[in-house]
Structure 1
Amino acid sequence: MPDWTARLTHLATKYDVPGAVLGLWVDGEQTIAPYGVLNRRTGVETTADSVFQIGSVTKPWTATMIVQLAAEGRLALDDAVVELLPEASIDPRITVRQLLTHTSGIDGDVFTDTGRGDDCVERYVALLADVPQLFEPGTAYSYCNAGFVLLGRIIEVLDGRTWDESLRARLVEPLGLTATTTLPEEAILHRAAVGHVGGDGSVVSTWQLPRSIGPAGTIAATAEDVLKFAQLHLDEYAGMREPQVTYPGRTGGLAEIGLAWRLYDWSGRRLFGHDGMTISQLAFLRIDPEARIAFCLLTNSGNAPALFDELATEVFTHHTGVGVPAAPRPAEEAVPADRHLGRYQRASAAIEVLRRDGKLLLTYQATGDLRTFAEEPVREFELLPTEPLDGDHYVTRESEGQPWTPITFRPSYLFTSGRVTPRVDRG
């Protein structure tokens, strides 16, 4: 058996990730391997019981509670959301299933802080009356945080308590989880990680997303607790990993979307999982149901994607012979097309594609409430053509050594990081 603690130490050092915990469960055998420090400013050591934010890995937890409510006969997945939440000012055709599969069309990166009160999720839902609809419900895929806050509000209404309280009653306590939290005053009772900006490694100035985003991404947990949740889904809720829609991008073997779960094809092996990213804390969860393997990696750095790719490939190749599929790479000697020059915009992002000094560039600016959490106000990336060489497919990356990110252009939008961003004018 490889020494996974040594491998984590080597790779985290290689990619300048200050602190991480690898959690690995292989058919009953568990390994928890910590590395580094939780906070470079204080030097607090990472331990096996350290708590990291898991970000959007929260979404399958919220989805599990929705599936429980469906099993109890208190909702149906094809119910219209407005039947369950009459106060929600959204397209009346949107269903619960479309929220679970990111096909509602709601422009979903709304990070408005509606306060710390128990009514914060209810107040957030009221804001969606002013949020644009990107496409007709059910006609496309675009990652939607707002949809999971809506699901959280459905849970609150049907359970008669806050989403946080339902999470504790329905999942945390039944699973015997000892360090799964949703609020900073809970996390501070544990050894809690702090995010570090990718690149310069500086400590972030804001620790957590607003409480109103809870159902979409504010769980913090230990690796052991995440693995217990993964084991639940190895044994139950198989319907949640039945394919619902095809994923339109090309990254990490992601092929289809289930009920919140992302479904992966790794050279014929079918895995499910999710990633999470908050304020420079990145989490990764992959589960191979055939081999009965659950892998989680919790980190406190924006540099974590490269660490995940290499470490997960080593772990899964050792156990199954198959690792993370390679991302698309730049093609050699391909000339980028100019037909996509112009501006693109959604609720949280303003993007411009332009040509400068013979290069095709993309500038990204966080807008709206997301500006509060952005590491840099404006970032610039070079777009490099990739296969198929049709002028519509490109890749870029955060920095040297990090994985390539695919970007696909369509006549009326660009698609990257799972999101549709509509075109608003031409260059």
Structure 2
Amino acid sequence: MPDWSSRLEELAGRSGVPGAVLGIWADGEQLVAPYGVLNRATGLEVTADSVFQVGSITKIWTATLITQLVAEGKLSLDDTVVGLLPEAPIDARITVRHLLTHQSGLDGDVFTDTGRGDDCLERYVGLLGKVDQLFDPGTAYSYCNAGFVVLGRLIEVLDKRSWDDALRVRLSERLGLEHTMTLPEEAILHRSALGHTADGVPVKTWNLPRSIGPAGLITQSAGDLLTFARLHLDQYAEMRAPQVPFPGGAEGVEAIGTAWRLYDWSGRKLFGHDGETVGQLAFLRIDPEARLAVCLLTNSVNAPALFEQLVSEVFTDYVGVAAPPRPEPIEGGAAGDDHVGVYERAGVRLEVERRGSRLVMTYRVTGDRLAVAEDPVVEYELYPTAPDDGNHFVTRSAPGQPWVPLTFTPAYLFTSGRVTPRRTG
């Protein structure tokens, strides 16, 4: 077996990631390999039981709680949300299934801070009447954090306790997890990571508002995340049933299950999810046939390059497959002016302009997201990937980082799993 600790150290150093933990569970055998420091300002080293924010991997925990409530007969996936939660000011056609599969049409990146009280989710949902409906429910896919806050509020109403308490009682305590938490006052009792920018500078904000909890606020160790992955190897197989195709198939994602992303890696069917908060990125991939679960927790926005190389090597060693190659720019590709304009959704304004033979996209954080944005304005060069198409492009945050696809239509720009409507141009 390769020395994964040494390989993590080599690749993390090359990628500029200050701290990380690699976790591997392979049919009964577990490895947890720590690397680096939790915070460059303090120099505190990463240990196997250090805790990192896992971001949107939290959505799988929330979806698991919903699945438990379905099994208990407290709701069905095709119930309308307003039928269960009449006070929710959202489209009456949206169902629980739409929320779980990002098909609700709600403008999803709403990061409104509604306080630290146990009523924060209730107050957040009450404000959704001000949020745009991007498309009719069930007609498209667009990644939606707001929808998972609504699911968290449904859990509170049906389970008669806060989302945080429901998660602790129904999952953390039953699984015997001692390094999984949702609140900063709990995380501070552990060796907790802080995010870092691309330049390796510690971020100024530790976490997102409590109101975003069900969409992305779990902090935990790699060992605890692997225990949760094992739960899904043994139970809840229905959550891996494909619900909706994933547009574009980036990173090998071919469909969305009940919150899970479903991957095809050279014929092997995996499931998993990623997460990102303020300078912390987490990744989880699971091969049910091989009974293999791999996670990588990091404290740097430079983590994508580390993940793709390291986890591909792990899967190649165990099952003989690597992550599929990403689309790359074509040589000499030029772009027309059809896509020049402004695209906007909650929290983000994308301005596409021509500079010479290239399109350049200026990414501007707006609204409530400004409170947690380390780099509120970033420019990206767009590179065509299909010479006879003109609608498909890629970009990346820095040399050496993975290419990220973008697709233009007359009505919107689709990237990072999100629909961003065209406003001008």
Matched to 1:280, the amino acid is G
Q: Provide the rounded CA distance (Å) in 1 between the counterparts of 2:231 and 2:11.
A: 29
Q: Provide the rounded CA distance (Å) in 1 between the counterparts of 2:141 and 2:89.
A: 21
1:264-315 Cα deviation digits (max 9, x unpaired)? 0111110000000000000000000001100000000000000000001100
Matched to 1:79, the amino acid is D
1:193 corresponding residue in structure 2: 193
Aligned pairs for 1:145-164 (under 5 A) are 145-164=145-164
Structure 1 stretch displaced more, 387-396 or 212-221 = 387-396
Q: What is the deviation of 1:210?
A: 0.4
Q: What is the deviation of 1:63?
A: 0.1
Residue 261 in structure 1 maps to residue 260 in structure 2: yes
Q: Provide the rounded CA distance (Å) in 2 between the counterparts of 1:389 and 1:196.
A: 40
Aligned pairs for 1:189-338 (under 5 A) are 189-198=189-198, 200-338=199-337
Q: What is the deviation of 1:358?
A: 3.1
CA contact 1:37–1:45 (8 Å) conserved in 2 = yes
1:114-148 Cα deviation digits (max 9, x unpaired)? 00000000000001010000000000000000000
Q: Provide the rounded CA distance (Å) in 2 between the counterparts of 1:404 and 1:164.
A: 36
Q: What is the deviation of 1:334?
A: 1.6
TM superposition score normalised by structure 1:
0.99
Aligned pairs for 1:143-182 (under 5 A) are 143-182=143-182
Residue 113 of structure 1: SS of its match in structure 2? coil
Matched to 1:287, the amino acid is I
1:96-127 Cα deviation digits (max 9, x unpaired)? 00000000000010001100000000000001
Q: What is the deviation of 1:373?
A: 1.5
Q: What is the deviation of 1:76?
A: 0.4
Matched to 1:188, the amino acid is I
Structure 1 residues 388 and 123, CA gap change in structure 2 (3 angstroms): farther
2:17 corresponding residue in structure 1: 17
1:415 corresponding residue in structure 2: 414
Matched to 1:26, the amino acid is A
1:77 corresponding residue in structure 2: 77
Residue 368 of structure 2: SS of its match in structure 1? helix
CA contact 1:250–1:328 (8 Å) conserved in 2 = no
Q: Provide the rounded CA distance (Å) in 1 between the counterparts of 2:388 and 2:33.
A: 42
Aligned residues: 425
Residue 310 of structure 2: SS of its match in structure 1? helix
Moved over 6 A (4+): none
Q: What is the deviation of 1:389?
A: 3.6
1:17-42 Cα deviation digits (max 9, x unpaired)? 00000000000000000000000000
Q: Provide the rounded CA distance (Å) in 2 between the counterparts of 1:216 and 1:360.
A: 33
1:325-349 Cα deviation digits (max 9, x unpaired)? 1110001122212101100000110
2:95 corresponding residue in structure 1: 95
Q: What is the deviation of 1:251?
A: 1.8
Q: Provide the rounded CA distance (Å) in 1 between the counterparts of 2:388 and 2:261.
A: 27
Q: What is the deviation of 1:360?
A: 1.0
Quote the RMSD (CA, aligned, Å).
0.7
1:40 corresponding residue in structure 2: 40
Structure 1 stretch displaced more, 362-371 or 386-395 = 386-395
Q: Provide the rounded CA distance (Å) in 1 between the counterparts of 2:357 and 2:90.
A: 44
Aligned pairs for 1:120-139 (under 5 A) are 120-139=120-139
1:196-254 Cα deviation digits (max 9, x unpaired)? 012x1110000000000000000000000000000000000000010000000332101
Q: What is the deviation of 1:388?
A: 6.1
Matched to 2:156, the amino acid is E
Q: Provide the rounded CA distance (Å) in 2 between the counterparts of 1:416 and 1:71.
A: 35
Q: Provide the rounded CA distance (Å) in 2 between the counterparts of 1:412 and 1:357.
A: 25
Residue 351 of structure 2: SS of its match in structure 1? strand
Residue 224 of structure 1: SS of its match in structure 2? helix
1:67-109 Cα deviation digits (max 9, x unpaired)? 0000000000000000111000000000000000000000010
1:162-188 Cα deviation digits (max 9, x unpaired)? 000000011000000011000000000
CA contact 1:17–1:301 (8 Å) conserved in 2 = yes
Q: Provide the rounded CA distance (Å) in 1 between the counterparts of 2:334 and 2:16.
A: 33
CA contact 1:98–1:137 (8 Å) conserved in 2 = yes
- Which structure 1 segments of 5+ residues have no match? none
- Which structure 2 segments of 5+ residues have no match? none
User: What percent identity do the matched residue pairs reach?
Assistant: 67
